[in-house]
Chain A
Amino acid sequence: MEIAGGLNDGTGEMNESKVENSAGQDIKIKVLFFARARDLTGVSETSLEMPDGSTAGDCMRNLLVKFPSLQEIYNSMVLAINEEYAAESTLLTSKDELAIIPPISGG
């Protein structure tokens, strides 16, 4: 099903504002790994360059390629962007800080 004026980019989402070229600047994201996530990746932080319009979920898929061992916590972890919990569908902007949050155990 097509909606006039929209662009189906195959992810199931209609991105009406997406221009059909690569003129959008890549965005640079800082990624933090905590606790078990850090044990699995071996690093406490890394950075990603992603296409403009990327979501937290896109970053996560990218990280799973870079650090396949993260698959172990993928179904129990959550994400935070700029110190707030965020859904995978959240759009990122440049200089955002993405945190990989394995199951917490404070208290």
Chain B
Amino acid sequence: MASAAAEMDLVDILDASSGPIDIARYVDFVRDPAASAIATFEGTTRDTFEGKLVEELRYEAYVPMAARRLAAICAEARGSWPLLRLAVAHRLGTVGVGEASVFVAASAVHRAEAMEACRYLIDEVKASVPIWKKEVYENGEVWKENKEFLERRAAHHEMDPAHELKETSNGED
């Protein structure tokens, strides 16, 4: 049953030469006669960060693991909501201001589930998919860090017994 559902998930990690995300492809993939709704999210490069002008974003990924995580995230969404079809596309390489770096689409019989799944998918991309972006300014560039990842890491480290190894060196009892 899980593998049949996976055929209704489209996950694309688009290499740097792919050009802009073909949004219609993903919307059409999730379109379903049984659906009353298609919910979508598009992540776009914005032109400023903390007062600095952003020239472009550059994305890279641990591609096989990112593909694996995206498939798992789709399966998790299906475990939480009744859904029809899902699509997630993430672009790599240079993404200019105003362009889409990520696109998510979800269809469902009812709009509430489609919208919640869509939100879940992008939130999980932000928290757990091994993709990185470098923000490029006129006179510098920096690797960005998603707060969703840092928050989740902090929560997991409290639960991981191995974490205690790092704390023993300061004499805590």
> A interface vs B, CB < 8 Å?
12, 32, 34-36, 39, 57, 75-76, 78, 80, 83-85, 87-89, 99, 101-107
Contact = CB atoms under 8 A, between A and B. Distances in A.
A104 B130 contact: yes
B43 interface: yes
Contacts of A85: 128
Contacts of A12: 165
Contacts of A105: 131-133, 143-146, 149
Contacts of A87: 160, 162
Given A57-B165, A76-B150, A101-B130, A107 B43 contact: yes
Closest 5 CB pairs of A and B: A106-B131, A103-B145, A105-B144, A35-B132, A83-B65
Interface string B27-70: 00000000000000001000000000000000111101110100
Contact of B132 (A75, A80, A88, A106): A106
A32 B62 contact: yes
Contacts of B150: 76, 103
A87 B164 CA distance: 12
Interface residues of B, number: 35
Specify the main secondary structure of chain B where it touches its partner: mixed
A75 to B, nearest CB: 8
Contacts of A102: 132, 143, 145
Given A105-B132, A106-B133, A107-B43, A89 B162 contact: yes
A107 B132 CA distance: 9
Contact of B131 (A39, A84, A99, A104): A104
A36 B132 CA distance: 9
Nearest to A85: B128
Given A32-B62, A80-B65, A84-B68, A106 B126 contact: yes
A107 B42 CA distance: 9
B94 interface: no
Nearest to B131: A106
